[in-house]
Amino acid sequence: AQSVSQHNHHVILSEAASLELGCNYSYGGTVNLFWYVQYPGQHLQLLLKYFSGDPLVKGIKGFEAEFIKSKFSFNLRKPSVQWSDTAEYFCAVHNDYKLSFGAGTTVTVRA
């Protein structure tokens, strides 16, 4: 069965620091990958997605992610975080009409 692993449970950063969240998946076939974000009190929103093509994908709010097939990874990055980036971040793999999510990483940005 496919699975998604997120390396960090909770990350605490100061504003302007760089952010990188790790995501690894276990699935041998073609994968479609997503990062979703859940801001406090809000619903899940799509940050970015990878279906095919350029392995470096850019999303909303300055986020980007790199798909490295050989490492089964899809890490999320942002060069300079803001207080408003405080949220929970979920990596997900789509297969067989369903999304399989990682456990999520809570990111707290201190002003």
Our measurement of the distance from residue 70's CA atom to the centroid of its chain's CA atoms, rounded to an integer in Å, reads 18
Residue 50: what residue type? Y
Interface with another protein by CB under 8 A: which range of 9-17, 18-26, 41-49, 57-65?
41-49
Cβ proximity to another protein: between 28 and 97 the closer is: 97
The torsion angle over the Cα atoms of residues 8, 69, 28 and 93, rounded to 10 degrees, is 50
Tokens of 14: 């100061």
72 makes contact with another protein (CB under 8 A)? no
Q: What is the rounded CA–CA span in Å between residue 58 and residue 62?
A: 7
Residue 92 Cβ vs another protein, minimum distance, rounded to whole Å? 8
Cβ proximity to another protein: between 63 and 81 the closer is: 63
Residue 90 Cβ vs another protein, minimum distance, rounded to whole Å? 7
Tokens of 93: 């793999």
Q: What is the rounded CA–CA span in Å between residue 26 and residue 97?
A: 17
Cβ proximity to another protein: between 49 and 77 the closer is: 49
Which residues are at the interface with another protein (CB under 8 A)? 32, 34, 36, 42-46, 49, 51, 90, 92, 94, 96-104
